[in-house]
Structure 1
Amino acid sequence: MVTRQLPPVRDMLDQQQRGWACVWCRAWLALGSSADLGQQRVVPETGAAYLWFPRECLDKAECARRTAG
């Protein structure tokens, strides 16, 4: 479940959109080391709608440290 507003998908790396990297700090996520934020649907101004699959680090303090630095 998303607890804060997700960053704009247009600003994310492909790895973040696919759930391979954290949406906040861009760290690579190993199996069992992340939380699923739910499937998201994007309807761009041009082009077809698509789905993306955000995930975040389980260790919020470490994620915040990486984001700040």
Structure 2
Amino acid sequence: MYDKNQLCEKIRMIYPDIGQCGIDLDVEYDEDQKLWVLYLKKGDRKIKHFLEEEDLNKCMQGKQCVSLGLEVSQIKD
């Protein structure tokens, strides 16, 4: 199991635009649903992204973060 800091660090490493282009990131673990919830915010635009354990593992191993990448692109534009 990863912790919040590890996840934030990995996301910022993969998507360096987060934080530098006015995109804020916050994450929390939802115990009830057993998944991570990522909050992306830029100005008044907000996106809530759900990252299940399987997707999290792929992302943390650098194999795949496609769905998150689409959300990051969406909030950047």
Q: What TM-score comes out, normalization by structure 1 length?
A: 0.33
Who wins on radius of gyration, i.e. which is larger? 1
Q: Which has the higher helix share?
A: 2
Q: What TM-score comes out, normalization by structure 2 length?
A: 0.31
